[in-house]
């Protein structure tokens, strides 16, 4: 199973957030990730841009988590995705 470029981008952002800066781990709102993916030209499965405040970006985060978990057979890299992105209430944005 190969991992899509979009999911690799999400993982790369999660990895960067994990190591953060001298203060440690950081998190990003789903809305911020949506803007980045839109700027890079990635679309939803329906061929639309990600819209802030909709479930699309959170489905994408969940899909990236599942993709890495299935590919790796464990939660190591998937776990970085799971703890990197939050909703507007600060809750983790992925669902298994």
Q: What is the rounded average pLDDT of the residues 20-48? A: 87
Is residue 92 included in any domain, yes or no? no
Instruction: Sort residue 24 into left (φ over 0), alpha (ψ -120 to 50) or beta.
Output: left
pLDDT averaged over every residue in the chain: 87
Is residue 93 included in any domain, yes or no? no
Domain residue limits at 61: 5-86
Q: What is the residue whose two structure tokens read 């700027």?
A: 39
Which range has the worst mean pLDDT, 22-31, 42-51, 53-62? 22-31
pTM: 0.87
Is residue 11 included in any domain, yes or no? yes
Instruction: Assess whether pLDDT exceeds 70 at residue 92.
Output: yes
Is residue 33 included in any domain, yes or no? yes
Is residue 13 included in any domain, yes or no? yes
Is residue 94 included in any domain, yes or no? no
Specify whether the CB–CB gap between 76 and 5 falls below 8 A.
no
Q: Which band of pLDDT confidence, cut at 50, 70 and 90, is reported for residue 34?
A: very high
Is residue 45 included in any domain, yes or no? yes
Predicted local confidence at residue 24, as pLDDT: 67
Q: What is the residue whose two structure tokens read 């839109």?
A: 38
Closest to 56 (Cα-Cα) out of 6, 8, 11, 14: 6
């Amino acid at each position: 199973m190969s991992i899509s470029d979009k999911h690799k981008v999400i993982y790369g952002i999660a990895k960067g957030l994990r190591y953060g800066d001298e203060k440690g781990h950081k998190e990003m709102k789903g809305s911020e990730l949506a803007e980045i993916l839109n700027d890079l030209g990635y679309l939803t499965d329906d061929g639309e841009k990600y819209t802030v405040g909709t479930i699309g970006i959170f489905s994408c985060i969940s899909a990236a988590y599942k993709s890495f978990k299935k590919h790796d057979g464990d939660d190591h890299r998937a776990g970085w995705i799971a703890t990197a992105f939050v909703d507007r209430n600060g809750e983790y944005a992925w669902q298994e």
